[in-house]
């Protein structure tokens, strides 16, 4: 199992609090995490109490990680050996369910309280139906309490509990991202600070009361009691935690994992997130939710594995019955300078992204080090209907310094949509944005439009500011009655060839 340069950089990076390792299926996230665990064991477990926890999604995932860990440990005995290395087994591998159940049972044994676990949706719906009868008498006719909405109400109660919202004020202002209700079986809109949320929260309290009076408990309560127990527990904690398939975690589970961490200057948590895996509605790591709402602290490091993991830099393929060898790690790009109307061809090896090759005919010029500028890359901006701004940095793109003469602060956004094809900006292109809050007529601008981002050409009609698409199938956006601010102007386009 040989790592590429990007993976090695992640493995050997200094542990600094909480980090996110993201990638698609097959991008080598789990393998990188296992190497990372071994590196941390031999370099950042300085005292006898220092231990490492690897959390898996399920037993199959857990057994796969254990097998990888044992194999990689044998292969890298020399590579990671340091002054702090010893033969003590410092690494535990459990499923998230294993460790939550352990602390839950510690709680019940210490309090002498035992519960019957409520698992069937049908049973939960029956209890919720009983609770709605009382609320209907209190609030009168309310569509939110319709019996057709029982599944929606059960899922909403589950979500509130999974988020750990025990105060109505928290629920009233919560961003309800990821909620989907079937037509006629749930509300089409669900506003913050609404009467509907007030009713649902009271329904939640009534539901919880019925569970407690019958010594019943659901899975969300198990997680909450495990969190309560780990907050008061002194031992059984870890210096470093790596969580595989973390996209399935709820807010309560994330809080529980954070409490498992021993607070030291070199302690760390790494959440490994599969960007292509579907998540349930209670999951907290979902697209559109900003990191500041995840309560992970101010310094969260993002790592991206953007390519399918390959053990070797080169692979052999069979072509027309002949064996040929090709380099599959090289990426070809074209940079269009919008300011000076110049075009450059360049390429890079994704294993060494901090070096690029400028291509002119048959000649190639290598640039690296101080000759390059590291430009942060953020996720989608809409060349179509505006989409939610995501302020997570996904990666960095190294480009020649001389392309940015006179440009101090810039960033890159990946384009989603086809509204700017008339300006040669297509879906999947990268747009280089010069960060500034003002723009002139005719500039292609990135605009924050009431919390959503869009890319359009700036224009004026009479006294009205208009964002003009470069595709006839889209309508202009008039922003005289909207809250809007310029994020920057487009100075370049990067096309993947």
Residues that are catalytic: 419, 456
CA dihedral 110→112→116→119, nearest 10 degrees, is: -20
Residue 139 CA, chain-centre distance (Å), reads 40
Q: Following CA atoms 4, 7, 8, 11 in sequence, which dihedral angle do they give, to the nearest 10 degrees?
A: -160
Question: Is-contact 42 81, C-beta < 8 A?
Answer: yes
In terms of phi and psi (left: phi > 0; alpha: psi -120 to 50; beta: otherwise), the region of 215 is left
Q: Which residues are CB-neighbours of 409 under 8 A, at least 6 positions away?
A: 434, 435
Contact 80, 43 (CB under 8 A): yes
Asked whether 379 and 430 are in contact (CB, 8 A), the reply is no
49: tokens are: 């109490």
482: number of Cβ within 10 Å = 13
Tell me the pairing of strands 393-400 and 322-327. unpaired
As beta bridge partners, residue 374 has: 398
Spatial contact of 223 and 164, defined as CB atoms under 8 Å apart: no
C-alpha closest to that of 77 among 32, 40, 38: 38
- Residue 426's nearest CA partner among 375, 372, 493 is 493
Q: Kindly give, in sequence order, each residue whose CB lies less than 8 Å from that of residue 490, ignoring residues fewer than 6 positions away.
A: 338, 425, 431, 432, 433, 434, 443, 444, 445, 446, 455
Q: State how far the Cα of 475 lies from the Cα of 367, in Å rounded to an integer.
A: 43
Sign of CA dihedral 115, 120, 122, 128: positive
């Amino acid at each position: 199992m040989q790592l590429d340069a990007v993976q090695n950089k992640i493995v050997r990076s200094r542990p600094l609090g909480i980090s996110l390792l993201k990638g698609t299926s097959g991008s080598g996230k789990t393998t990188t995490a296992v190497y990372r665990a071994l590196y941390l064991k031999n370099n950042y477990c300085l005292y006898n109490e220092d231990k490492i926890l690897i959390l898996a999604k399920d037993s199959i995932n857990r057994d796969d990680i254990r097998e990888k860990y044992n194999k990689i440990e044998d292969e890298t005995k020399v590579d990671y050996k340091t002054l702090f290395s010893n033969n003590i087994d410092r690494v535990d591998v459990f499923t998230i369910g294993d460790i939550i159940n352990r602390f839950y049972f510690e709680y019940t044994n210490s309090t002498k309280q035992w519960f019957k676990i409520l698992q069937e949706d049908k049973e939960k719906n029956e209890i919720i139906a009983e609770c709605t009868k009382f609320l209907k008498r209190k609030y009168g006719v309310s569509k939110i309490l319709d019996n057709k909405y029982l599944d929606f109400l059960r899922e909403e109660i589950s979500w509130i509990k999974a988020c750990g919202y025990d105060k109505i004020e928290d629920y009233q202002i919560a961003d309800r991202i990821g909620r989907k209700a079937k037509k006629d079986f749930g509300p089409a809109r669900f506003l913050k600070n609404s009467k509907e949320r007030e009713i649902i929260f009271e329904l939640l309290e009534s539901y919880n009361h019925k569970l407690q009076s019958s010594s019943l408990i659901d899975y969300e309560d198990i997680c909450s009691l495990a969190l309560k127990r780990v907050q008061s527990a002194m031992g059984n904690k870890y210096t470093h935690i790596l969580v595989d398939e973390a996209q399935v975690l709820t807010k309560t589970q994330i809080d529980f994992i954070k409490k498992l961490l021993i607070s030291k200057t070199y302690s760390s948590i790494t959440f490994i997130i599969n960007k292509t895996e579907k998540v349930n509605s209670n999951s907290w790591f979902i697209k559109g939710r900003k990191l500041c709402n995840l309560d992970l602290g101010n310094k969260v490091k993002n790592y991206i594995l953007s390519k399918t993991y390959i053990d070797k830099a080169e692979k052999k393929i069979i072509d027309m019955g002949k064996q040929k060898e090709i380099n599959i790690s090289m990426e070809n790009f074209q940079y269009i300078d919008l300011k000076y109307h110049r075009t450059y061809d360049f390429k890079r090896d994704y294993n060494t992204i901090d070096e690029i090759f400028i291509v002119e005919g048959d000649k190639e010029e290598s640039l690296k080090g101080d000759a390059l500028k590291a430009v942060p890359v953020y996720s989608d901006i809409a060349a179509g209907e505006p989409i939610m701004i995501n302020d997570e940095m996904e990666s960095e793109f190294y480009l020649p310094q001389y392309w940015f003469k006179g440009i101090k602060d810039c960033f890159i956004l990946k384009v989603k949509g086809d509204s700017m094809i008339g300006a040669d900006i297509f879906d999947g292109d990268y747009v280089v944005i010069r960060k500034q809050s003002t723009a002139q007529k005719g500039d292609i601008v990135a605009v924050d439009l009431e919390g959503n981002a869009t890319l359009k050409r700036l224009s004026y009609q009479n006294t009205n500011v208009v964002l003009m698409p470069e595709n006839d199938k889209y309508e202009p956006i008039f922003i005289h009655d909207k809250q809007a601010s310029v994020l920057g102007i487009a100075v370049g386009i990067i096309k993947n060839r």
